[in-house]
Structure 1
Amino acid sequence: MNHLTVGQRSPLSNLAIDDTAPITLKFTRQSPIEMDISCFALDAAGKLINDDYMVFYNQPTSPCGQIKLTHYESQPTANKGIQAEFEVNLSKLATNIDSLFFVLSADTPLNQIQSLEIGIWQQSQKVQAEYQAVDFAQQQASMLMQLYRKSGVWRVSNVAQGFNGGLAAIVQHFGGDVEEGSPQAVEATVTPVKAKPSLEKVMLDKAPKLVNLAKKATISLEKRQLQKLTAKVALVLDASGSMNRQYKKGRVQEVVNRILPLAVSFDDDQALDCWAFARDPQYLGEIGLSNYDGFINNAHGGWRKWALGPRINNEAEVMKAVTDFYQKDGLDVPVYVLFISDGGVNDNRGITRVMTDAAKLPIFWQFVGLGGRGYGILKKLDDMEGRVIDNCDFFELDDLDDISEESLYESMLEEFPSWLKEARKIGLITS
């Protein structure tokens, strides 16, 4: 059985799930409060197909009959028990249904829930995802798990993203009508592929604070013909003790702000994956246009509370965690990793081993030295022998304020295009 951690994504086929046969999702909870579990069928724009495609205890079957709530228990329980079971037949859904979002909601904060487990079954249990009270904080709703199509392949994502306002707010977020539903007929037609909107327009609509950054990023992207590239973006943040000053002065949050336009341009989800590391790595979740502002001070209680063990450097461990994450995700598109460090690097041998293995994968690593020294092997990786491809680059800054945003994007993207070209040539990238 596969355990799906928060933030992890994977093609169903990688989890021994046949998307042409029905699957069952079982929600087992131990909770002193009443809570609701609903399924939303969404189109490619992330909007509810129509109000009849919200499947819950009061509307247990979708109009097409391929999404069914087959079991439901509404009352709280002191013991673990199955609250809901959904049966889904993905292969028979209308082609304009792009994803299914399973949502948890309550009238009170969800952190009162003792535990919640989601199991995906097909003859036997294939997947398990587990949540505790700490995963829910004070929100009254959480977008738990998503089944979605990508390049014709059904995938699963353990989103676990909190949402303020409860079920009504989520219905409105997905475009549903809370007061007066106005169902529309579902058209069983393929959703047309839309051209990517301009980066500047996306930012203007969703994150106006970043419009100027988007303009400058666009110049670098167009110069390198990357504006139509589809890729994943990852951010890895050194959170060792010597980085405290950078966090306190807001420099690390500024790194988040400056890389987000690249993620919005590259990634279909308009988000990036973020890790922090000291002795231990921690996956902090996705950063997108709805949660980037103040992310460093808000995610998992803020940077001072991240579960990283002693605040000493261990680059090799987080590099391995990032590599493992994307291998499980399927690596169907290239990955761009921005890796921030202020030096004090150790375990050169371990770093060399991980990077040599990672060179066989469609992952490019852009290392940035920020306001430190002792970068060690990170400065030498670019010239390291024994790899199937040069998969990394390095540059350093004394201070983020010392470089213009235009120059920063130029440095961040300097070697990425040549790596893409070579990676395609040797077959690492097929798209």
Structure 2
Amino acid sequence: MNVLKGQKIDVTKNKSITDIDVFLGWSSANKEISLDSAAFLLSEQDRCEKEENFIFYGNPFSPGAAVSHSTIKQADNEKITISLPKLQPDIKKIAFTLTIYEGEKLGHQFGQVMNMYLRIVDRSLNQELLRYEFGADLSRETAIVVAELYLYKGEWRFNAIGSGFFGGLAALCKNYGLDVEEEPPHSNEDSLLSRRKKIVQAAFEKKKLHGVIARVGLVLDISGSMRSLYQNGAVQEVVDRILAVASKFDDNQTLDVWIYDNEFSRLLSVKENEIENYVQKHILNNDTIHKFGRNNEPLVMEDVIRKYTKEEPSEHPAFIVFINDGGVVKPTKKVIIDASVLPIFWQFIGIGNSEFELLQKLDEMEGRFVDNANFFHLNDISDISDELLYDELLNEFPEWLQAAKAKGIISI
């Protein structure tokens, strides 16, 4: 359904809708213009009664995680996810907004932004409920109240607003009763890592991993078919995203890194202040390491085991994220089985369109002391949001921790 400005329509009435995704998209010929979406959770008085109810890139989760904000890399630009039953009882309205980062300072205006839209999807059915295109009448404004969801007689309705005004994010916050002196830092690498750590923390709480300490390792396939992913920055993004997990899991906030093809290299471990251009500096520009050959997983897996059990034994388990794009060689099965008595959990991620027959049958693999590995597949790892990635990454680790404790593999 295409919605026009000023139109109000029912969203949940006579429908079994509980969870929705609100997508916002736009385009601009000026690549320097940066837009940010946000959701203000409002009381009956149209006020955002506390800062925790202002959901944006710097605060991506509402209390109880009923609402979350994420940046995505698909046709849409940003997404706000809402679980309507989880909203606190005092929330009667949700306002969706767009602002131009430092618009007044940089001379950027919504008249320079095109093709703006908001669309709402029923998450359970993956069905688009409505689409609202807006902004054609804007010129020098730097902020927009795009639309509202509001509660009316126990049902949620949509109000298409599309009103622009001046003053950016600070003016929006003031409009909803919040006092913000200046715009928060934008999504540079530091703040992006901080946002990702918040998302990881929320995933920890969801999986009941609060207080768990684990050493984190990342094993990266560098066989020939991975060449383009190294060159286009996709592998650097993987390192960035897994570092956020290490920053929350590891008491040293360090990510151990391996690469492998038919040989392997144990690379320099990475911390937050060393992450910039890590792949370019320590992999692509490193002539001493072998790259873009065929794949042989057991060699690198045996080195991972050697590091964590022989060279650096610890009371804390190891959580290994293993990226592979072509399936693993058959002897990998024996390594996984033999390692099932060790304090190491293997989280395999298959990317691309290859066959992953052995990894897809991990749950059926017999002969293990405990189930010590999990696998999931992504066509393009860059397309999955941080929220979904971390949820998938941590899906089976809590079960392994319980089983490993019960069998005496780990003691804490």
Report TM bin, short chain.
0.5 to 0.7
Q: Give, in whole Å, the separation in 2 of the partners of 1:313 and 1:279.
A: 5
Contact 2:345–2:373 at 8 Å: present in 1 too?
yes
| Distance change (3 Å), C-alpha of 1:385 and 1:426 | same
For residue 307 of structure 2, the aligned residue among 325, 328, 334 is: 325
Runs of 4+ aligned residues of structure 1 deviating over 4 Å after TM superposition are none
CA distance in 1, matches of 2:266, 2:410: 25
Query: Which string of whole-angstrom CA distances, capped at 9 and with x for unpartnered residues, describes residues 269-294 of structure 1?
Result: 11011000000110012111111121
Ranges in structure 1 where 5+ consecutive residues have no aligned partner: 1-203
- What does the per-residue CA deviation read over 1:287-308, in whole Å, with 9 as the maximum and x for residues that have no partner? 11111121111115636x3612
Q: Secondary structure at the match of 2:255?
A: strand
1:355 and 2:332 are equivalent in the alignment: no
Aligned-pair CA distance for 1:255: 0.8
CA contact (8 A) 1:272 1:286 kept: yes
Contact 1:236 1:276 in 2 (8 A): yes
Deviations 1:376-402 (A, max 9, x none): 312222320000000000001111233
- The answer to whether residue 216 in structure 2 is matched with residue 230 in structure 1 is no
| Residues 231-257 of structure 1: per-residue CA shift (max 9 Å, x gap) | 100000000000011111211111111
* Residue in 2 that maps onto 1:343: 326
The alpha carbon displacement at 1:316 in A equals 1.2
8 A contact 1:382–1:390 mirrored in 2: yes
For the residues of structure 1 that align with 2:324 and 2:353, how far apart are their CA atoms? 8
Instruction: Measure the CA separation in 2 of the matches of 1:392 and 1:302.
Output: 32
The match for 2:87 is none
Q: Residues 315 and 345 of structure 1 are in contact (CA less than 8 Å); yes or no, is this contact kept in structure 2?
A: yes
Q: Aligned partners of 2:278 and 2:353: how far apart in 1?
A: 23
Structure number with greater Rg is 2
1:277 and 1:306 map into 2 onto residues whose CA distance is 13
Counterpart pick for 1:403 among 376, 384, 401: 384
Structure 2 residue identity aligned to 1:386: G
Does 1:316 find its partner at 2:298? yes
* Distance in structure 1 (CA, Å) of the matches to 2:291 and 2:222: 10
Distance 1:276 1:300 in 2: 8
How many Å separate the matches in 1 of 2:363 and 2:392? 14
SS in 1 for 2:246: helix
Task: Map 1:18-97 to 2 at 5 A.
Answer: none
3-state SS, counterpart of residue 368 of structure 1? strand
Residue 277 of structure 1 contacts residue 313 of structure 1 at CA under 8 Å; is this kept in 2? yes
User: 1:310/1:242 Cα in 2 relative to 1: closer, same or farther (>3 Å)?
Assistant: closer
For structure 2, which runs of at least 5 residues remain unmatched after alignment?
Answer: 1-186
Give the SS at the match of 1:285.
coil
Q: Can you list the C-alpha shifts for 1:58-116, whole angstroms capped at 9, x where unaligned?
A: xxxxxxxxxxxxxxxxxxxxxxxxxxxxxxxxxxxxxxxxxxxxxxxxxxxxxxxxxxx
Shift of 1:226: 1.5
The structure 1 residue matched to 2:233, chosen from 250, 269, 278, is 250
Q: Name the Cα RMSD after superposition.
A: 2.0
The separation in 2 between residues aligned to 1:369 and 1:344, in whole angstroms, is: 7
Q: Which residue of 2 aligns with 1:220?
A: 203
Counterpart of 1:385 in structure 2 is 366
What is the alpha-carbon distance in structure 2 between the residues aligned to residue 374 and residue 322 of structure 1? 24
Q: 1:275 aligns with which of 258, 263, 285?
A: 258
Deviation sequence 1:161-180 (CA, Å, 0-9, x none): xxxxxxxxxxxxxxxxxxxx
Q: Is the CA contact 2:222–2:292 (under 8 Å) kept in the aligned structure 1? A: no
Number of equivalent positions: 225
CA distance in 1, matches of 2:335, 2:204: 29
Determine if contact 2:221/2:324 at 8 Å carries over to the other structure.
yes
- TM-score, scaled relative to structure 2: 0.52
Segment drifting more, 409-418 vs 210-219: 210-219
AA of the residue aligned to 1:292: I
Q: Any conservation in 2 of the 1:275–1:281 contact (CA below 8 Å)? A: yes
User: Identity across aligned pairs (percent)?
Assistant: 40
Instruction: Describe how 1:190-201 pairs up with structure 2 within 5 A.
Output: none
CA contact (8 A) 2:214 2:249 kept: yes
SS at match of 1:279: coil
Query: 1-side partners of 2:353 and 2:321: how far apart?
Result: 17
**Within 2, Cα distance between the matches of 1:411 and 1:367?**
11
1:361-417 Cα deviation digits (max 9, x unpaired): 010000001124122312222320000000000001111233211011110000000
1:225 Cα offset (Å)? 2.1
8 Å Cα contact 1:382/1:391 also seen in 2: no
Change (3 A) 1:373 1:327: same
Q: Distance in 1 between matches of 2:337 and 2:288?
A: 29
Q: Distance in 1 between matches of 2:209 and 2:297?
A: 29
| SS of alignment partner, residue 270 of structure 2 | strand
